[in-house]
Structure 1
Amino acid sequence: MSKEKYIKKPSSRALTFNKSFLLSIIFHSILLFGITITAVKNLPIFQDTPIINVKFANSEIDIINNGDNFDNRTSPIESFEVLNSGVKEVSFGSPSINQIKRLEETSQVTNAESLYLNLWQRNIEMSGNEIMQNLEDNIEGGSVQILAKIDASGELIDSQILISSGSQALDIMAIDILKKSAPFQEFDSSMLAEYQVLEIVRDWNFSSVLN
């Protein structure tokens, strides 16, 4: 008597399940692939957008009394210490209500001044980038050195171009950006204890605007 091997045939339910599982894998693979392609396709493309970058100018600190002669001004700095943040804190002599402080690249600044400068710069760069992106005319890039004179309430009371970019259009736009960025932050109590007016000298670097 021959023995027949018993072969169990897969049930229709198993076939249906396997087919559904396979279709599900294919569907999700296509979906995942499509999402990946879409994400890659929509990645931002870095274009040559106009920017303004503000840097400290190359100069030294000046503490100026309004009644003093410019050539004979002195810096009544008694001491300073290097803080952990790398910012130099300056201790001044007796403050005068008429005193003006000028901040430039090599100026030693307090923590309050460092924060003030960062906010001032961010405000100008945001305003400047917005203005430049809406320009209709082409402007060649360049660098211009500007002095901004700010009072204790944050108002811009004077602005001067110390070193021209060589382009009248760029110089005018830089001053316009400065004026439209005002008013700025008010001085905090530690700044007010030393001076009533702050002069900020910086190099403004512009990229070209080609429309």
Structure 2
Amino acid sequence: MIPALEALKRLQEGNRRFASGVMSLDKLASANKRTDLAAGQEPFAIILGCSDSRVPAEFIFDQGLGDLFVIRVAGNVVAPSQVGSVEFAAECFNTRLVVVLGHSRCGAVTATLEEMKRPTKSQSRNLRSIVNRIRPSIEGLLEEESPSSHEKLMQRAVRANVRASVNQLKHGSEILEQLTEENGLLIVGAEYSLDTGLVHFFDGVPLD
């Protein structure tokens, strides 16, 4: 079992490699590694990220086959199936780090802001279910928006949505609460920049 802080350091180092364009050749899947992993897995981190095609966790953290347990859903929202997936990995694989990974200019957050400004009747109930999960975390921000601050509003909304998902994982599961209190589980929030390729961990990260 890899402790949470060591796992976090691995992710940070991997992301620095990715952002600088220096990827690890040993992360490429070999036939031997595929065979070894067929018998079982021991991912060192759980990533709950957005489905956006520009934010593949294995790439941006420079990790290979079997390193990460990745759950992807538009807007990195937390619903029962996502909570259950995190519980499964944390319990079955003794993975001690969970990262909720948002990203700049998130389409799901943008859709939520637009729906709040100009409600539509034609939106599908499935998309609306995502919007409704994001809405509570950003409603207060919309009231503060000024005509020239849309970009700033988006930045704050993305982070508010990540914080809300972190909070739901921390306090919406007895299993995760117990693992946090007794077994060193750490749940943190982060944002990936589409422009720089860097991930900034900003919520739940212990101070040095």
Q: Same fold (TM over 0.5)?
A: no
TM-score (norm 1): 0.28
Q: Which has the larger radius of gyration?
A: 1
TM-score (norm 2): 0.28
More strand per residue: 1 or 2?
A: 1
